């Protein structure tokens, strides 16, 4: 399971020109689910996202987590994150989860995050989405479990 996280001032996601998810200050998370992922990996990644220190403290150092700053989280499924780009000029998606497993783990990932005090918004799994964001920093990290 992979998460590309970006610290944002604001972010939104639309489907068919209709906004389905929007946040202010917090994190935009693109989630890629691989075929060997399971409930344990989703909980491990979700816990890491909530506790990952990428917000500045009073001294300007990245020492605060999403929980510490009471930020919001926008979760968007992104199958292309699991692509293998090592060979050739075309990505391979052989490590990606099949659609049923991917959707279940994405939904369970979001449900698990909703148990936290963080405000969660989402995109629509497997939809053609348009994502808008203002990256703060810019600060972007790839988290894998």
**Residue 88, both tokens:** 């050739």
CB 51 within 8 A of CB 45: no
DSSP state string for 3-60: EEEEEEEEEEEEETTEEEEEESSEEEEEEE-BTT--HHHHHHHHHHHHH---EE-TTS
Question: Does 10 participate in catalysis according to the annotation?
Answer: no
d(CA 136, CA 12): 14
d(CA 119, CA 32): 21
Element (H, E) at 67: helix 66-69
Question: Does 80 participate in catalysis according to the annotation?
Answer: yes
Selecting among 30, 55, 79, 109, the annotated active-site residue is 79
Selecting among 6, 30, 78, 122, the annotated active-site residue is 78
d(CA 132, CA 34): 25
Please list the active-site residues.
78-80
């Amino acid at each position: 399971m992979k998460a590309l996280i970006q610290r944002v001032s604001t972010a939104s996601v639309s489907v068919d020109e209709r906004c389905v998810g929007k946040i202010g200050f917090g994190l935009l998370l693109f989630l890629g689910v691989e075929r060997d992922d399971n409930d344990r990996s989703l909980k491990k990644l979700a816990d890491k996202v909530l506790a990952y220190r990428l917000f500045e403290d009073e001294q300007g150092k990245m020492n605060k987590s999403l929980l510490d700053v009471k930020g919001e989280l926008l979760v968007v499924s992104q199958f292309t994150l699991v692509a293998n780009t090592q060979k050739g000029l075309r990505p391979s998606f052989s490590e990606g989860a099949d659609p049923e497993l991917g959707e279940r783990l994405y939904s369970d990932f979001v449900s698990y995050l909703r148990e936290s005090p963080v405000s969660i918004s989402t995109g629509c799994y497997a939809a053609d989405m348009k994502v808008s964001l203002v990256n703060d920093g810019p600060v972007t990290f790839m988290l894998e479990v």
